[in-house]
Amino acid sequence: MDFAIETADLVRTFKIKRGEFLTAVDRVNLQVKPGEVFGLLGPNGAGKTTVIKILVTLLYPTSGRAFVAGHDVVREAEAVRPLINMVSGGETSGYGILNVRENIWMFSQFYGMPGKLAKERIDRYLKRFEMTGDAATKVNRLSTGMRQKMNIIRGFVTDPQILFLDEPTLGLDVHIAREVRQYIREWIAEKKDHTILLTTHYMAEAEELCDRIAIIDNGKLVACDTPAALRATMGEGGAFTLTLSPAPTDTTLVDQIPDVRNAYLAKSDGRTTGELRFTLNSDARLPEIFAAATQAGFAVRGFSKREHDLEDLFVKIVGRRLHEDE
Amino acid sequence: MTRRLARAIVASMKIGWEIESNWTNVPLYILYEAVRPLSLCILLYFLYKVVSASPGADPHFFAIFIGNAFFMIFGALASGLSWAIISDREHYQIIRYVYIAPAPFVWTVIGRAVTLLAVALTSVLLTLLVGRWPLGLPISLGGVRWGLLAMSLPLGLAAACGIGLFFAGMLLITARHSLLLAEGVGGVFLLLCGVLYPTTYLPWWLRPLAWLNPLTHWVEASRRVFGVTGFDKPLGALPDWELLAILLVLTVVYLYIGWKSFLWFEHRAKRAGKIDQATNY
C-alpha cells in the first residue's frame, strides 16, 4: 500500500432543486502517506466534510475514485470499514440514555472487539481523558465538551489504522481543545503506521498537528504541502499592523503602494486611532508606506509585524480570510 | 466474521432494550407493556359482546382473539425496524457512526428490533393468559399444537421482518414522518390479513392480495395452533402441510424482497447523501 488515502479526480455534486446542482467536491486529488497527519483546511462549505464522508463510505462520489488503505471506498466498503473510524466535532451525537462507558462499549462491539480488550481500552482512555469519574454518567447529562471527549474516545478505542477527524475541536473550550490536540500528537507518535486525516478551519490547529496540509475552497484543492513549505511560498514579508491617528476610513493610503495586498481596517475607536492591516512580500516597501501616511496627515501611533502564517497564505490563494463567513 | 456479527447484534439488542425500557423502573415498564395488549383484548371483547351474548363461548371470537394477539408481533417488529432508523438518525444523531462500523448496517437494525419482538411475544403471552382466565376462552397448554407453533412462528416472524425491512429501508431516503406511512401500512395489513374477519369478506379483487400475503397464512396457522379451524373457509380447507408450504414460499419471497429492498434503499440513500441527513423543519 503506497498511500493510506488516495483520491483521483474525486467529484461530488448535490442536486439543490430541479436542474440545479452544487459541486461540493471538484476533481480533488489527494495522496496521504501512511503515518501522516494530513490536514484538510478550508472555510465552512469548502467541501471538507463531503470528502470525509466519501472516504468513510457514507456517501458515493459522483465521479472519480477514492481509496482507503488501498481499498476502493465504493466497491470495497466492507474492507474499508474495519480499518477506519471517524469523529466529528460540533455535534451532540450519542445514545443519551446510555452512560459514557456503555456508549463507548457499544461501538467497540460494532467493531467486533473482544469484551476483555474493549474493557481494558475503555478504562485506559477514560483515565487518559480524565473521564473515569464520568463513566457512569448518562450521556444526556454531559456538557458539550465532555460529550465530545467521549466521542473522541469512541474514535480512538477501536485503534483504527486510519482515523478521520472532522473538525474535532469545534465548539470546545480552550482547555479541552488543547487536551484533544495533545492526545492526537501522542497517538500518532505512538502508532507510527497509523494515519489521521484532519479537517479544520483553525489555522493554528492545522499548523500544530499536520505533517502536510491541503487547502480546499469551493470544492477545489488549491494548495498542498508541508506547513513550512506553504508558508515559504509567501516570501520574506509578513502581516503588518499600522496604528494611525486619526482613524483611517478606508485603505486608500496603502492601496497605492505596489506589493501591498489584502489591506483592511481592523480596529478603530471611531475618532482618535484606527488599525490598518496589510501584507507585504518584503519589508523594503515600509519606508514608502510610512511616508505616505505622514503625507496624508496621519500620525503613526503604533506598528507591528507578524511573520506569514497559513491564514495569510489562505488569503493569498483564495482571496478572502478563512473566517470571513462566520 | 460470525463472532463479530454476533457481538454487533447483541450490542444492538442492548441499545434497543435500553431505548425501550430505561425511562422507568422494571415493574412500571412491565405494567406499561401489559396495559396496551390487555386494553385491546378487553375492547375487542366488549365490541364482540354487542353482537354476541357470550363472546367467550363463540368460536368466531376465539379466532379473532388469537389472530389479533399474534398480529401484534407483526406490528412490533415492523415498526421496531423503522424506529431503529429514525431514532438513530433523528434523535441520537449517531447513525453515521453505526453505519461506518464494520457490522453490516442491516443486521444492527434487525438487532434493534429484536427487543421489541421479545416485548411483543411477552404481550402475546399475557393476552393469551387474559383470554384464558377472565374471558374464559378455551386455551390450555395441553391443547396447543406445539409442533405447528414451532414451524409457523419462525416463518411468521421472518415474513414480518421482510415487510418491516422494506419500510425501514424506505425511511433511509425519506423524512421522519414516513414512519407514519409505515404505521399506516400496518393498518392496511390488518385489514387484508383476515385478522378480524375472514378474507372472504373482502371484495373479490382484494382477496388475491390477502392470499398472497404470508401474514394471512401465518394468522391462520396460529389459529390452528390453538385448535381454531373453519374461521376462514378457503384457508381452512388447506391441510396443515399445504398451509405451511404456502407460508414458507411466501415468507421466502417477502424476506428476499424486503432484504433486497433495504439494500437498494441504502444504496439510493448513499448516492443521495441521505444516510445521516436528519429531517430539519
- Of A228, A257, A278, the domain-final residue: A228
Smallest CA-to-CA distance from A8 within A77, A47, A63 is with A63
CA distance A210 to A242: 32
B96 touches chain A (CB under 8 A): yes
Residue type for A33, please? K
More confident site: B123 or A9: A9
Look up residue A308 and give its three cell numbers: 506569514
Residues A188, A223 within the same domain: yes
Q: CA of B19 to nearest chain A CA: how many angstroms apart?
A: 7
How many separate domains does chain B show?
1
Residues A54, A160 within the same domain: yes
pLDDT of residue A107: 93
- Of A228, A262, A291, the domain-final residue: A228
| B277 in any annotated domain | no
Using the beta-carbon criterion (under 8 Å), do B102 and A92 form an inter-chain contact? no
- From residue A183, alpha-carbon distances to A128, A153, A168, A221 in Å are 9, 10, 12, 28
Smallest CA-to-CA distance from A85 within A60, A57, A106 is with A57
Residues A143, A280 within the same domain: no
Tell me the pLDDT tens digit for each residue of A169-204. 987 888 889 999 999 999 999 998 999 999 987 888
Q: CA of A283 to nearest chain B CA: how many angstroms apart?
A: 49
A101 touches chain B (CB under 8 A): no
User: What angle do the packed helices B105-132 and B146-172 form, to 10 degrees?
Assistant: 130
Instruction: Report whether pLDDT(A272) > 50.
Output: yes
- Check which CATH number belongs to the domain holding A114 and give it: 3.40.50.300
* Mean pLDDT in residue range A308-312: 77
CA distance A314 to A41: 9
Residue A326: pLDDT band (50, 70, 90) is: very low
Using the beta-carbon criterion (under 8 Å), do B96 and A60 form an inter-chain contact? no
Torsion angle of alpha carbons B190, B192, B195, B200, nearest 10°?
A: 160
* Mean pLDDT in residue range A210-228: 93
Is the separation of the CB atoms in A131 and A153 below 8 Å?
A: yes
Is the separation of the CB atoms in A266 and A250 below 8 Å?
A: no
Tell me the pLDDT tens digit for each residue of B41-97. 888 888 888 888 788 778 899 999 999 999 989 988 888 888 889 889 988 889 999
Supply angle C-alpha B59, B61, B66, rounded to 5: 95
Smallest CA-to-CA distance from B274 within B195, B176, B134 is with B176
A58 touches chain B (CB under 8 A): yes
Residues A137, A248 within the same domain: no
pLDDT of residue A67: 98
| A151 in any annotated domain | yes
Using the beta-carbon criterion (under 8 Å), do A97 and B276 form an inter-chain contact? no
How many separate domains does chain A show?
2
| B281 in any annotated domain | no
Using the beta-carbon criterion (under 8 Å), do A58 and B276 form an inter-chain contact? yes
Is the separation of the CB atoms in A301 and A243 below 8 Å?
A: yes
| A156 in any annotated domain | yes
B64, containing H or E segment: helix B59-86
| pTM score | 0.86
* Mean pLDDT in residue range A37-54: 93
Query: How many A/B residue pairs have CB atoms within 8 Å?
Result: 84
ipTM of the modeled complex: 0.86
Most confident of A71-85, A216-230, B21-35, B179-193: A71-85
Interface test with A, best of B94, B107, B264, B268 (most A CBs within 10 A): B94
A109 touches chain B (CB under 8 A): yes
**Looking at A121-130, B2-11, B100-109, which range is the least confident one?**
B2-11
Tell me the pLDDT tens digit for each residue of B226-264. 999 889 999 999 999 999 999 999 999 999 999 999 999
| A279 in any annotated domain | yes
More confident site: B261 or A2: B261
Instruction: Report whether pLDDT(B281) > 60.
Output: no
| B245 in any annotated domain | yes
Tell me the pLDDT tens digit for each residue of B148-206. 999 999 999 999 999 999 999 999 998 777 667 767 777 889 899 999 999 999 999 99
Tell me the pLDDT tens digit for each residue of A123-143. 999 999 999 999 999 999 999
Using the beta-carbon criterion (under 8 Å), do A58 and B3 form an inter-chain contact? no
Q: Which residues of B touch A84 (CB under 8 A)?
A: 100
Residue A325: pLDDT band (50, 70, 90) is: very low
Tell me the pLDDT tens digit for each residue of A260-269. 888 888 876 6
Using the beta-carbon criterion (under 8 Å), do B15 and A53 form an inter-chain contact? no
| A320 in any annotated domain | no
Tell me the pLDDT tens digit for each residue of B204-225. 999 999 999 999 999 999 999 9
Domain that holds residue A50: 5-228
Question: Which residue has 460529550 as its cell numbers?
Answer: A147
- Check which CATH number belongs to the domain holding A286 and give it: 3.30.70.3100
Q: CA of A190 to nearest chain B CA: how many angstroms apart?
A: 24
Residues A171, A35 within the same domain: yes
**Looking at A62-66, A211-215, A298-302, which range is the least confident one?**
A298-302
Residues A125, A29 within the same domain: yes
Rounded to the nearest 5°, which phi and psi values hold at A104? -70, -40
Tell me the pLDDT tens digit for each residue of A76-118. 999 999 999 999 987 778 888 889 999 999 999 999 999 899 9
Instruction: Report whether pLDDT(A311) > 80.
Output: no
Using the beta-carbon criterion (under 8 Å), do B97 and A92 form an inter-chain contact? no
Is the separation of the CB atoms in A7 and A72 below 8 Å?
A: no
Domain that holds residue B115: 2-272
Residues A296, A214 within the same domain: no
Nearest CA in chain A to B21: A97
**Looking at A22-36, A41-55, A310-324, B193-207, which range is the least confident one?**
A310-324
Residues A192, A69 within the same domain: yes
pLDDT of residue B1: 62
How many CA atoms does the CB half-sphere of B218 hold within 13 Å? Answer: 30
Residues A77, A98 within the same domain: yes
